Amino acid sequence: MTQVDTERSEPGPALATKAGLRRSARQAPDGGNRTEASSDPTVEPSAGRGAWFGVADLAAPEIRWHLAALALLFIGLWLFAGLNPYVAAAGFLVTAALVSRSRTQAAGDDAVADAEADTVTGDPVPGYAAVAEGLPDPCFLIDGTGNVQFANSAARELFGGLPAGEPISFALRAPEVGEAIADVLANGSSVNVTFLERGPADRWFEARVSPLGGVEQTGSAAKAGHSAVFLVLLRDLTEAQRVERMRVDFVANASHELRTPLASVTGFIETLQGPARNDTDARERFLEIMAEQARRMSRLIDDLMSLSRIELKAHVRPETVVDVGPILEHVADSMHPLSLESGVELKLDIRDRPLSVVGDRDELAQVFQNLVHNAIKYGQSGGRVDVSASLGEGEAGGPPVIAITVRDYGPGIEAEHLPRLTERFYRVDTASSREKGGTGLGLAIVKHILNRHRGHLAIDSTPGKGAEFRVLLDVAEPAPKTGSAHHNVQES
C-alpha cells in the first residue's frame, strides 16, 4: 500500500481520505474490485470531518455500541414495521453522522476547557516579578498570608535578602503594614500607609498595598485554587521629612529671632510714650537701645535674604574665573576697623599667586568676610587672627586645591558642637552670640556658598587653643605659580 503524503500536497480532509482509498484500491494485488482502506498513521484521525462523519470517529470504541444499537433498531423497523429499506438506511446514516459530529464538538469543548484550566492554575508570580524587578523603588510580592513571594533588587539592597515564604514582617516590622494588608484582603482595594522604620538611622516610608490577582477568589479562579498576590510598593520619604522638619525649625527660629528685638523696641516705645515722656536721660538711653535692636533685625533680615538668594542658585555653578588673592586683601582691609576696635592683630599671608578658582567674586568675599568676622568676634581674647592662602594637594592624590585658612587663638569650641556649627541659628553660646550681634546664620551662608562652588569647609578646634576654619576650592586654569606675598594688617 502507498502512504498518503499529507505534508506535501495537504488536500482537504475529505479529499485526502478519498484519494488514499482510491490509491489503495488500484494497488490491490488481485486487481479486483475489493477496496482496502489505508492504515497509514500519517492520515490524521480527524480527516473526513468535512464530510458527514469520519471513519476514525465511528470506529472509536466508546461509540461502537451506540452504532450497533442504532443498526439493530433500523433493521427491526425494516423487518417488522415495514419501513422502506432505503429510508431505514438513510436514517441510520444521518443518525450516525449526528453522533460523530456531537462527539467531535464535545472533544473540542473539552480541549478549550483544559486550556482555560491550565491558564487559571498557572503561577502568576513570575510574570509580576519580571515587572517588579524593573521598578526603581523597593517592592515586594506577597501572598494573602503576608509571606514574601518575591523582592526586587531595590528591596534586597535596602532590607537585605529575605527568602521566599518568609513573613514580610521580618523586613518591615511596622504594624501599619500588616494592618494595610489585612484591609486590602478584606476590601479588595488599594491602601496607602506611612510608617517609620526604626534602626541605626530611622527612615520614613510610604507603603502602597495593592491587590494584583485572585483576591476575591470567585468563579473559575476559586475552583482552580488561584492564590492571592499583593504588591507592596515603598517610597522613601526620609529626605522629604528631613526637609520639612528643617523648614518648620527655620520658621520657628526666624520668628523667635525677630520677636525678641521687636518686643524690646515695642516696650521702649511704650515707656517713652508713658512714664519717660519727659525724661531726657532715659529717652537718650532707650533710643540707643532701640537703634541697636533695629540694626539687629536688619542684619537678620539681610542674612535671611542672602541665604534665600544663595539657595535659589545652589544648582547653578559659577562660570567666572576669579583670583582669590585680591578678594582676601579686600576682606582684610574691610575688617581692619573691626580688628582695631577689638584689639586684634589681623595677619594675611598669601603664599602663591595667582590663586585662580571658578567662582562668584561677591559670594566668595562673603565667605571670607563671615569667617574673619567670626574669628575676630569670638577669638578676641587670643589677640590675633591669621589668614593664609596657598596651593595644596588634593585628597587621596586628587587634583590640587586652593586652601584658605582662618585661624584664631581664642577659647576654642567643644568637639560636640563642631558638626552642627553650619546649621541655621545654631549657636555655641546663645547669649554671647546675641550680645555680639550674631544672627546664627553666618556659617550656614558659608556652607551654602561653598556647596554652590563645589567647595569644602573643614573645622578644627581645641578648647583653650582657638579654632581653625579651612576652605578648600578646586583650582581653575591657569595653574598657580609658586611665589610669596605677605599682607599684614597691624593694630595701629
CA gap 39, 20 in Å, rounded: 10
| Helix, strand and coil in the chain, % to nearest 5 | 50, 20, 30
All 3 cell numbers of residue 110?
A: 473539552
All 3 cell numbers of residue 223?
A: 475552583
Q: What is the pLDDT of residue 173?
A: 82
The residue to which cell 532707650 is assigned: 286
CA gap 116, 21 in Å, rounded: 38
Residue 121, SS3? helix
Q: What is the pLDDT of residue 335?
A: 92
Q: What is the pLDDT of residue 223?
A: 37
Long-range contacts of 103-111 (CB under 8 A, 24+ apart): 103/57, 103/60, 103/63, 104/46, 104/49, 104/54, 104/57
All 3 cell numbers of residue 18?
A: 478519498
The residues with which 408 forms a beta bridge, in sequence order, are 385
CA gap 314, 303 in Å, rounded: 16
**265 Cβ contact list (under 8 Å, min separation 6):** 290, 293, 294
CA gap 152, 135 in Å, rounded: 8
All 3 cell numbers of residue 278?
A: 519727659
The residue to which cell 521580618 is assigned: 170
Residue 460, SS3? strand
Q: What is the pLDDT of residue 8?
A: 38
Q: What is the pLDDT of residue 181?
A: 84
The residues with which 385 forms a beta bridge, in sequence order, are 346, 408
All 3 cell numbers of residue 13?
A: 480532509
Task: Provide the b/e sequence for 315-337 (b: ≥16 CB within 10 Å).
Answer: eeebeeebbbbebbbebbeebee
Q: What is the pLDDT of residue 22?
A: 39
Residues recorded for the chain: 492
CA gap 11, 48 in Å, rounded: 11
CA gap 286, 63 in Å, rounded: 119
Cβ atoms of residues 466 and 383 within 8 Å: no
Domains in the chain: ranges and CATH: 6-119 (no CATH), 125-236 (3.30.450.20), 249-312 (1.10.287.130), 321-489 (3.30.565.10)
- Measure Cα distances from 474 to 322, 390, 448, 449 in Å: 12, 12, 16, 14
Mean pLDDT by 10 residues, the chain (492 residues): 38 38 40 41 41 48 68 74 72 72 63 50 77 89 86 86 82 85 84 82 85 54 53 88 77 77 86 85 87 86 83 82 94 92 92 90 93 91 92 77 94 90 83 72 90 92 92 76 48 36
